[in-house]
Chain A
Amino acid sequence: MNSIPDLRVILIDDNEIDLMLHEKLITFQQISRTVLSFLNPNKALEFLSSNISLPRIPPTVILLDIQMPEMDGFEFLQAFDTYPQKIKSQCHVIMVSSTLDYGDITRTNANPLVVRLLRKPLLLKELRETVEGIFKDFV
């Protein structure tokens, strides 16, 4: 489904196994050739802010975990919300979590930066459909 040639995927999860799993799924489905994995949300923010000087920000899908130590998914979104529109408009956040907590789910659905909440284990079909949904107007 490699319809967006320069699409990149940023993975943010404190669990190394889940990072590996998600990376493999993306490669397997050929969603993107560029996968950047971050165990620490702060490092991902640093990376994104280093993009500000780029002349053109490539379309980006961010798979974001909710429960993480130090900075959780919501805190990441809060920080990311202050970033320039130039970057935000190119980044599409998909939350990926094993949460059953009602509060987490309603907070995720209410967040305008979030495209969708996907349950762990991440299923190939759901991931593919969500990414296709994001870029359906681009094709």
Chain B
Amino acid sequence: MKENRIRILYIDDEIHNLNAFKASFRRSYEIYTATSAQEGKQLLKEIMVHIIIADQKMPVSTGVEFFNEIKDVLPDPIRILLTGYTDVDDIIDAINKGHIFSYIKKPWDEHELHRTINNAYEIYSTRRQLKEKIAELEKTNDELNRFIYSTSHDLRSPLMSVLGIINLSRLDNSVTDPNGYLNMVETCVLKLDGFIQKIIEYYRNSRLEIEYEKIDFNNLLNDCITVFQPQNTDIRFQTQVDQELEFRGDTFRISVILNNLISNAVKYQKPDETNPMVHLAVKVEPHKATICIRDNGIGILSEHLNNIFKMFFRSKNNNKPGSGIGLYIVKEALNKIGGTINVESKYGEGTQFEITIPNRNEFDT
């Protein structure tokens, strides 16, 4: 017996129908028969069939009643109802209660029944393949989650130990290091850690559910400035927040966007600029927030402007260390929350990013 043969259970109280069915179809399919719904249920406990055909008019329970009873336990087999009478109520019942695929009139036409069986089987296998694919995807997703979690930990924890050792050596002055090698080690470790953190940020942006919360842009910008000011204490930060209305948005992604853009504004300053500045402006409207981040830094070459949001793209006109992932993350995060970004830049003069983010606050509700 071939494994991939279509397995059919046919239930009918008239034994000669069962015999006729077997006689016509036994060469094409693997056929099981039962003379009552009760017997059919018994059989289904033992055998996994693909298609169930049932007669509607049977003494104890009808075909529809039978399908209705088994649909929760056995949702997978495709159901076909056979009947000698065309009663509209039966048809409606069959479709609504019994979740049947097709309705066939007795006496059946052999070709029609063949075709119906094959169509039914196709649906059965498509559904099964879909289920398998979903299970596979869920497994891959789950593995990816665990992979990222453990990689981020396993990559970072030795780096943090290195930083700890460097800190300790400074505390107890136990290492003579006239050439500042430890500082170089620290710089490299911090750079690598920065890259790992960006990768985790990218991953979290793509995986984390979007959550809308109340956002106070004054607080958010101040948090960012507190983080970045120590990196270059010469920079003058100017903020201008025009928020009269409540704004709701995804805090994690909006912070990611602001952090990356402000980090760039701080990093790509001209070394000889006497008055380095970063200007941050926010305007909240009922439907959106517009955020503008402007600096007087080195600027971006116009021929590079089209590429800056591509993954791992790095402008060649600067000698600053970068991973080429920051603006890509910004773009991805904006895509997630339905925002847009525009950039204007003059090489040697500065750069301005303008982003808009939809306001998810529902006024008047």
Contacts and interface: CB of A to CB of B under 8 A. Distances in A.
A28 B172 contact: yes
Contacts of B165: 17, 21
B171 A98 contact: no
Give the most central of A21, A99, A100, A102: most B CB within 10 Å. Answer: A100
A103 to B, nearest CB: 8
A121 B172 contact: no
Interface residues of A, number: 19
A15 interface: yes
A21 B208 CA distance: 35
A21 B169 CA distance: 10
Nearest to A66: B153
Interface string B155-169: 011011101110110
B160 A121 contact: yes
A122 B164 contact: yes
B160 A24 contact: no
A18 B167 CA distance: 12
Nearest to B189: A121
Interface residues on B, range: 10 to 19
Interface in B172-209: 172, 197, 200, 204, 208
A130 interface: no
A120 B153 contact: no
Contact of A100 (B152, B167, B168): B152
A21 B161 contact: yes
Given A15-B157, A98-B157, A124-B171, A21 B164 contact: yes
Nearest to B165: A21
A98 B167 contact: no
A75 B163 CA distance: 28
A18 B164 contact: yes
Nearest to B197: A100
A34 interface: no
Contacts, number: 52
Contacts of B159: 98
B152 A101 contact: yes
A24 B168 contact: yes
A24 B165 CA distance: 10
A99 B161 contact: no
B147 interface: no
Contact of A120 (B164, B168, B172): B164
Contact of A99 (B153, B172, B204, B208): B153
Contacts of A121: 160-161, 163-164, 167
Interface in A1-28: 15, 17-18, 21, 24-25, 28
Given A21-B168, A24-B172, A101 B161 contact: no
Contacts of B153: 67, 98-99, 101
B149 interface: yes
B301 to A, nearest CB: 34
Contacts of A122: 164
Given A18-B164, A121-B163, A98 B156 contact: yes
Give the most central of B149, B160, B163, B200: most A CB within 10 Å. Answer: B160
A123 interface: yes
A28 B152 contact: no
A100 B156 contact: yes
Contacts of B163: 120-121
Contacts of A102: 204, 208
A119 B164 CA distance: 11
B353 to A, nearest CB: 26
Contacts of B167: 121, 123-124
Contacts of B200: 100
B175 to A, nearest CB: 13
A21 B171 CA distance: 11
18 contacts: A15-B157, A15-B161, A17-B164, A18-B161, A24-B172, A25-B168, A28-B168, A67-B157, A98-B153, A99-B153, A101-B152, A101-B153, A102-B208, A120-B157, A120-B160, A120-B163, A120-B164, A124-B167
Those 9 A-B pairs whose CB atoms lie nearest each other, nearest first: A121-B164, A120-B160, A121-B163, A98-B160, A21-B164, A98-B157, A98-B156, A17-B161, A121-B160
Interface of B: 149, 152-153, 156-157, 159-161, 163-165, 167-168, 171-172, 197, 200, 204, 208
Interface of A: 15, 17-18, 21, 24-25, 28, 67, 98-102, 119-124
